[in-house]
Amino acid sequence: MKIFSGLLVAVLLVSGCQTKTPESMNPFFTTYNTPFQTPPFSLIEVKHYMPAFEKGMAEQQEEIQAIVANNDAPSFENTILAYDRSGELLERVSAVFFNIQGTDNNDSIQEIARIITPLLTKHSDNISMNMELFGRVKAVYEQMDEAQLTDAQKRVTEKYYNDFVRNGALLSSEDQEKLKKYNEELAGLQLKFEENQLAETNKNFKLVVDNAEDLAGLPEGVIAGAAETAAANGMEGKWVFTLQKPSLIPFLQYAENRALREKIYRGYFMRGNNDDEFDNKEIARKMAMIRSERVKLLGYETHADYAIAVNMAKTPQNVDEFLMGLWRPALKVAKQELKEMQAIINQEGGNFELQSWDWWYYAEKLRKAKYDLDEAEVIPYFQLENVREGMFWVANQLYGITFTPLNNIEVYNPEAEVFEVKEANGEHIGLLYLDYHPRESKRPGAWQTSFRNAITKDGKKVSPLVSLVCNFTKPTGDTPALLTFDEVSTLFHEFGHGLHALFTDGEYKRTAGVVPMDYVELPSQVMENWAAEPTVLKHYARHYETGEVIPDELIEKIQKSGHFNQGFATVEYLAASLLDLKWHSLNAGDVVENTLDFEKEAMDNIGLIDEIIPRYRSTYFGHIFSSDFYAAGYYVYIWAAVLDSDAFDAFKQSGDIFNKELAQKFRQHCLSECGNDEGMVQYLKFRGQEPSLQPLLEKRGLN
């Protein structure tokens, strides 16, 4: 059944073909004939996406119509389960398309995204505001006890009922139409924001150095990488630095040329704020105001109230109190760090006050002065392949699982690699894709995603296809990819998300592995704790040239410097979290005239010092403006940090950081079955007590 007019025209525009691809030739329309039924990327062409999206939406509409048309009384099986199972084709094409949009974007992919985004938004709204479907869901919800549903069935029924209510099912038809318009407008703005951010990060700024003297202070590996980037851009004999973190951060840390440090940092923090076609100021302002109007229809005062109501924190007031409780000690530490760095400037005869673009440079000097630790001294021990094997080893020690490289699995990009994950007894768990380095087609940051989610269907486990995407330092010449310790921690972090996705167990898509936003980062952040443990470091940290295991002396320096720069790191993060909360505390009718003025007032009100900029300024705050996912939810990283620090403290207190009994409990309650109940309930099943704030404060030196 065709439900969207104009899609055929869209297909022709995007593919450049005269006719649609025959269904028999579209890879999405048949079961993948590949090992583990992985996506056959070599067969998937741009022209296949739109027909697959169109058919996927049509099929799901037919499935919804069949539920609604069923003359039998609403039951869990004919309503909730049938709804949970709907949309399989749409999920399959979406999983490929939107992952490719993040890793290998191009003009054709962007054009499809512009066409399909409003259509998917409309499709979703048509389902969530289908009153006949909601009526059946509501009937099952109201009869859960009488129907003697299992706990798992009750939970998924309750979740779907609340989803419908939160998505406008109880609104009048007039207000539902308003809500649909808001949703459609927001979807378009989010897409444009992300496109602008991608261009501003990867294409629109390059620092070109043509005088070797301007490279003073930079490590050889950084210089070699810049030379390779220049050559790739047709500028042989020069050096090019970009706004991608592996290029930006080392330049800020080591380059002696202060003017160039300022130039590249301004390029970074002015992204989306250059009054050109990629400007995001108006988009951010409009999105925040539209969100406030949207949630008013749903009965909430602010978007923050709406978003946080289903989180562990429950209210924006609780979040604000929590963040400000950390803000005060963190700002105090950051100001002390500033004094110590200014003292270095003064001792060196520098006739200037430290500015934001100086922080990394003088922090590195301070690290060396206080802890006799130069990050450049550590990096040679963190060869990417060794770090990867180290994190695999940690997972093996905790859970007994193994990782085997596979060469018979198609990848979406030649830079990606694939591993099969198995239980200790050899039972297949799933596949893990790894994609490490920046490219112009890849959005910034690091994330975990999936090409297929784990689910138990009709008693049979559907194995997950999990992917970790990063933007780490590239190899240069004969030198392999050598990571900073921050990049090491990021890889362990995303691997934690990956383990969550691999271990997920459950019968229903709506609840299997699904946790509150402020729980999401627990599985990832807890893994970071193992990365710096001496036992773990000795396993994976080996000098890339000599093979020498990292010496105890260097491990001790790393351990002692654990509190280093934590004032800055915590303040820049909290500033962004509080900025997010401020944007989403607007009431309907509130008008933001100027994005930059709004941001400045928010930061002035909390006392942010000029020398520190929020980790994300409004114009490149993709977490909250590229989608709804983290809107009023950027705080979740530090909320989960309380949980992860407390969880790891349990291992430390046991005397064995690989305590298999604790690991099994964590896997069962916090990873595999985490969707079975509320986040804190599941955490308490593992921990047996309320989480303490003390381990986090001690870890960051904020106590």
249 and 118 inside one domain = no
Q: Decide: 282 and 595 in contact? Cβ < 8 Å.
A: yes
| Nearest C-alpha neighbor of 392 from the set 520, 502, 549, 483 | 502
Q: Decide: 160 and 510 in contact? Cβ < 8 Å.
A: yes
Q: How far apart are CA 615 and CA 613, in angstroms?
A: 6
Above pLDDT 90, what percent of the chain?
Answer: 95
What's the average model confidence in pLDDT over 45-54? 98
Say whether 59 is catalytic: no
Domain boundary among 536, 564, 592: 564
- Structure tokens given for 425: 């007894």
Is the residue at 492 inside a domain? Answer: yes
| DSSP string computed for 487-536 | HHHHHHHHHHHHHHHHH---S-TTTTT---TTTTTHHHHHHHHHHT-HHH
Q: Decide: 138 and 68 in contact? Cβ < 8 Å.
A: no
Q: Decide: 254 and 350 in contact? Cβ < 8 Å.
A: no
Q: Give the position of tokens 């129907």.
A: 147
Is the residue at 80 inside a domain? Answer: yes
pLDDT of 535 > 90? The answer is yes
Q: What digits encode the pLDDT tens for the residues 233-267?
A: 999 999 999 999 999 999 999 999 999 999 999 99
Is the residue at 597 inside a domain? Answer: no
- Structure tokens given for 156: 């998924």
Q: How far apart are CA 520 and CA 636, in angstroms?
A: 8
526 and 443 inside one domain = yes
Rounded to 5°, angle at Cα 144 from 141 and 147: 135
Task: Write down the H helix ranges in 542-616.
Answer: 552-560, 566-583, 595-606
Q: How far apart are CA 465 and CA 184, in angstroms?
A: 30
Provide the residue range defining the domain that includes 134.
7-170
What's the average model confidence in pLDDT over 520-534? 97
Q: What digits encode the pLDDT tens for the residues 121-137?
A: 999 999 999 999 999 99
User: What are the b/e assignments for 584-619, b being 16+ CB within 10 Å?
Assistant: bbbebeeebeebeebbeebbeebebeebbbbbbbbb
21 and 84 inside one domain = yes
455 forms bridges with which residues in the sheet? 462
Domain boundary among 170, 196, 227: 170
- Structure tokens given for 53: 């999206």
Q: What digits encode the pLDDT tens for the residues 481-524?
A: 999 999 999 999 999 999 999 999 999 999 999 999 999 999 99
Q: What digits encode the pLDDT tens for the residues 86-128?
A: 999 999 999 999 999 999 999 999 999 999 999 999 999 999 9
SS3 labels along 309-325: CCCCCCCHHHHHHHHHH
84 and 156 inside one domain = yes
Q: Decide: 696 and 642 in contact? Cβ < 8 Å.
A: yes
Q: What digits encode the pLDDT tens for the residues 354-373?
A: 999 999 999 999 999 999 99
Is the residue at 71 inside a domain? Answer: yes
What's the average model confidence in pLDDT over 526-550? 97
Domain boundary among 170, 197, 213: 170
Is the residue at 674 inside a domain? Answer: no
Q: Is 410 left (phi over 0), alpha (psi -120 to 50) or beta?
A: beta
Q: How many CB atoms lie within 10 A of CB 147?
A: 14
Q: Give the position of tokens 């200037």.
A: 352
161 and 247 inside one domain = no
What is the DSSP code (8-state) at residue 16?
Answer: -
142 and 223 inside one domain = no
406 and 546 inside one domain = yes
106 and 154 inside one domain = yes
143 and 244 inside one domain = no
- Domains held by the chain: number: 3
The residue from 194, 494, 599, 673 that is catalytic is 494
Residue type, 491: L
Coil, strand, or helix at residue 170? coil
518 and 387 inside one domain = yes
Split at pLDDT 50, 70, 90, the class of 22 is: low
| Nearest C-alpha neighbor of 577 from the set 280, 326, 217, 271 | 326
Residue 619 CB contacts under 8 Å (≥ 6 apart), including other chains: 270, 271, 272, 273, 279, 280, 281, 284, 595
CATH number of residue 99's parent domain: 1.10.1370.40
Q: How far apart are CA 437 and CA 510, in angstroms?
A: 33
pLDDT of 17 > 60? The answer is no
Is the residue at 163 inside a domain? Answer: yes
105 and 241 inside one domain = no
pLDDT averaged over every residue in the chain: 95
Q: What digits encode the pLDDT tens for the residues 269-282?
A: 999 999 999 999 99
- Structure tokens given for 484: 């900073």
> 5 φ, ψ to 5°?
-75, 155
Is the residue at 341 inside a domain? Answer: no
Residue 385 CB contacts under 8 Å (≥ 6 apart), including other chains: 480, 481
102-to-98, 417, 467, 702 alpha-carbon distances in Å: 6, 17, 12, 36
Q: Decide: 253 and 364 in contact? Cβ < 8 Å.
A: yes
| pTM for this entry | 0.93
Residue type, 68: V
Split at pLDDT 50, 70, 90, the class of 703 is: confident
- Structure tokens given for 297: 């229809």
139 and 219 inside one domain = no
Coil, strand, or helix at residue 452? strand
What's the average model confidence in pLDDT over 528-537? 97
Coil, strand, or helix at residue 439? coil
Split at pLDDT 50, 70, 90, the class of 7 is: very low
Is the residue at 303 inside a domain? Answer: no
